[in-house]
Amino acid sequence: MAVPLRSSTQVSSERFEETISGENRIEELSGSELGSEDEYEDMGTATPEEQANIAYLDSVRIPIKEDLATSTSITQDETLKVVLPFLEGNPNDFPLNSHGISQLQRKRHVVYLEDALDDYPSGYAMMDASRPWIIYWALQGLTALGEDVSEHQRRVAHTFSLAQHPEGGFGGGYGQYAHMACSYAATLSMATAGGEATYESINRKTMWQFLGRMKQADGGFTMCQGGEEDIRGAFCAMVVLSLLNLPLELPKDAPARGQGLTTFTDNLGEWVSKCQSWDGGISAAPGNEAHGAYAFCGLGCLSVLGPPKETLNKYLNIPLLVHWMSSRQCSPEGGYNGRTNKLVDGCYSHWIGGCWSLVEAATTTGIWNRAALGRYVLAAAQDKKGGLRDKPGKRSDAYHTCYNLAGLSAAQHHYVYDEGVNKGLGEVGLGAPFRWKVGGIYHEDAIWDSSDVVGKIHPVFVIPFRAVFECRKYFEDKENF
Ligand code: FPP
Ligand code: K
Ligand code: ZN
């Protein structure tokens, strides 16, 4: 892709240098100043797609900068230097779609994720406790790319039968203590792989007892016995209870019963409410700094608890949350950061991008740029070696592959909460998440072609819709544990 005269990279990078050099800041930021007509004529033989990319970046303003350099402003400047070339040009030499953006490299990512499900060298031993996560990220990423993962059913069931703790819940592997995050990732993995034998390998009664031991008197959940209480626990517990159709009554021996609680949902909405911080975001626990990953957990938890329109509006200040979420979309990068004054990162394509689906079911509309997010994922987050990444210069991994793709799906699909969906399923007991459907795919003003559209992903459970409905149906049809 040779661009004679003046490459797109040069055009915007020069402006970027000018901007960070500190002179004429305000003038440079005033829209039309960013690109004169002459410069477009200058681009000579640049293709229409390349010209469109340059025009796009010229329309995206670099925020007003102060003279004071801090470690925050310095790392942000360095980040723009590594990201911009991928938005302006095509350093990966990927084939481009009809909008001049890198096509979704399905094959490379499928090979990458299949490999992530394979053996690991000894250096990865420290990752052993994260095995359920790695399996979940890989399986979920593969389904987002359109792959059938049912061939992995037996391996998945076997792996998790070893990681299941005799007293309930899942650990990272054989002999490890049960943990909320492992139980969440294990449940999602098994639901995604599907199949009766896989479902039957889950001991739902001891899982229910494990979750009962995690419930706290203030309404929240701990991550493990004696461990930290945070909003991940609240979300993971709700996901497992709902997908496995477990009873909402606390087990007889649940410690929280001693403090007057009787159900898993007692005081839960109130506890999540306390996690919304002064700036509108949601934090791990009351009083902490708001963060994208915890925002998704909070919204997900409330979206399991009941219809988002009811629960989100009841327990959260939505206008303030929308302001905080909108502020997370980085300009000109297009992707999201996870918290104020931090850097764009592909995983927040989901942790924040995915929040919009839930928030938009509770209020009229979100305030975000779907195309800009898609642009970041396709142009900057795809790794030439396969898999997706935090940002250019970082290695791809299963986590960033899964959540970049989930975020891309959120940008591309209109996920709709509809009371009329799935009549007969989820009529009692945490049934709200079974009311979602796809309303349509965004194509107008989009920067993706049909072949760049990833699969539909359930906005609360972040696994395929089919897996969600089949799993819940299977456990609704069972008489008891
Ligand atoms: C900050 O890391 C990240 C966190 C404080 C928490 C992240 C938590 C999750 C991704 C998972 C939660 C979800 C579930 C379902 C258990 P950082 O300081 O390295 O990154 P940053 O600079 O982008 O904030
Ligand atoms: K990060
Ligand atoms: Zn990340």
Sequential DSSP letters for 349-365: HHHTHHHHHHHHTTSS-
Res 66: pLDDT:
83
The yes-or-no verdict on residue 53 having pLDDT over 90 is no
Q: Which domains does the chain have, with CATH numbers?
A: 101-477 (1.50.10.20)
The residue among 22 and 451 whose pLDDT is bigger is 451
Between 180-193 and 131-144, two packed helices, what is the crossing angle to 10 degrees? 40
Q: How high is the ipTM of this complex?
A: 0.97
Half-sphere exposure of 228 (CA within 13 A, CB side): 7
Higher pLDDT, 120 or 34: 120
CA dihedral (222, 228, 229, 230) in degrees, to 10, reads: -110
Dist. CA 471–CA 464, nearest whole Å = 11
Ligand nearest to the CA of 223: 1
Give me 357's structure tokens.
């689906």
Q: What is the pLDDT of residue 54?
A: 76
Distance 201 CA to ligand 3 centre (A): 32
Q: What is the pLDDT of residue 298?
A: 98
Mean pLDDT on 345-365: 96
Which residue bears the tokens 């303030």?
320
* Angstrom distance (rounded) from CA 9 to CA 415: 36
Question: Residue range 33-48: average pLDDT?
Answer: 49
Kindly state the average pLDDT of the residues 469-481. Answer: 94
pLDDT tens string 371-411: 999 999 999 999 999 999 999 999 999 999 999 999 999 99
Residues with CB under 5 A from ligand 3 (ion): 345, 347, 390
Is residue 441 over pLDDT 60?
A: yes
Q: Burial code of 149-188, b = ≥16 C-beta within 10 A, e = fewer?
A: beebbeebbebbeebbbeebbbbbbeebbbbbbbbbbbbb
Which amino acid type is present at position 457? I
d(CA 315, CA 297): 14
Q: Where are the alpha helices (DSSP H) in 43-195?
A: 48-59, 71-88, 106-116, 131-144, 153-163, 180-193
Nearest to 407 by CA among 386, 376, 438, 367: 376
Residues 6+ apart with CB under 8 A from 155: 117
Does the pLDDT of residue 42 top 90, yes or no? Answer: no
188: closest CA among 230, 142, 135, 114? Answer: 135
Predicted pLDDT at 444: 86
Average pLDDT of the chain is 90
pLDDT at 30: 32
Q: Which of 8-12, 89-93, 440-444, 476-480 has the lowest mean pLDDT?
A: 8-12
Q: pLDDT-based confidence at 65, cuts 50/70/90?
A: confident
User: How far is residue 62's CA from residue 17's CA, in Å, rounded to a whole number?
Assistant: 11
230 lines ligand 1 (CB under 6 A): no
Q: How far is the C-alpha of 326 from the C-alpha of 426, rounded, in Å?
A: 33
Question: What is the chain's alpha carbon radius of gyration, rounded to the nearest angstrom?
Answer: 23
Helix (H) or strand (E) holding 439: strand 436-441
- Closest CA to ligand 1's atom 19: 338
Q: Return the ligand number nearest the Cα of 338.
A: 1
pLDDT reported for residue 7: 29
Candidate of 232, 291, 351 to mutate for ligand 1, largest count of ligand atoms within 8 Å of Cβ:
291
Q: What is the pLDDT of residues 304-317, one digit of tens each?
A: 999 999 999 999 99
Query: Nearest CA to 94 among 380, 434, 424?
Result: 380
CA of 373 from ligand 2 middle (Å) equals 16
Q: What is the structure's pLDDT at 276?
A: 98
